[in-house]
Amino acid sequence: MIEMAYDDDENSMAIKVWRLYVDLWKLWYKKNERNLNKIDLSITEFTIMRHLIENGPMSMAAIASLINVTPGWITGVVDKMEEKNLVTRNRDSTDRRIIKIAITDRGREVYENAKKNHYAFIRKALAELNENELQQTYVLLQKMMDDVSKLESN
């Protein structure tokens, strides 16, 4: 029975699960992005602010690594965030070649308001699942995460 679930057939349960997961992720991302755009933030900006609050000032390379983008790409995002007074660029005190990104007081305030909005969005999106279903979903997604993490990339 397990072999059938992992058959190469397009109708195998493994393929169906994967496609549903990908479709769900796209939909979730799109709706979440729209939700944050209402308060003039992108998902990337929100995520960067979360990392800065959790970790303190960070280099662009460290931020890029955490969110799986190139340091060059992150520069444009940080430029926009700096224009909105959400972050500042500061030279590292021990190595002046390194520029650290830090969240501003306004950035913290915007993040806290966005977080409330974001958590309300998540609660609404998952409202049909009871606590047991949420626990089961968490366990299954964690198993998927562990399995995918073990895969070698080419």
Which tens digit of pLDDT belongs to each residue from 37-79?
999 999 999 999 999 999 999 999 999 999 999 888 899 999 9
Residue 136 lies in a domain: no
Query: What does the longest C-alpha to C-alpha distance in the chain come to?
Result: 61
Residue 141 lies in a domain: no
Residue 67 lies in a domain: yes
Below-50 pLDDT ranges, the chain: 1
Q: Are 104 and 85 in contact (CB under 8 A)?
A: yes
Q: What is the CATH number of the domain that holds 64?
A: 1.10.10.10
Predicted confidence at residue 80, as pLDDT, reads: 96
Residue 4 lies in a domain: no
Predicted confidence at residue 106, as pLDDT, reads: 98
Instruction: Give the burial class of 59: count Cβ atoms within 10 A of its Cβ; 0-12 exposed, 13-18 middle, 19 or more buried.
Output: middle
Predicted confidence at residue 52, as pLDDT, reads: 98
Residue 91 lies in a domain: yes
Residue 100 pairs in a beta bridge with 59, 90
Residue 152 lies in a domain: no
Residue 115 lies in a domain: yes
Residue 16 lies in a domain: yes
Predicted confidence at residue 1, as pLDDT, reads: 45
State how many domains the chain has: 1
pTM over 0.75: yes
For residue 21, the enclosing domain spans: 9-127
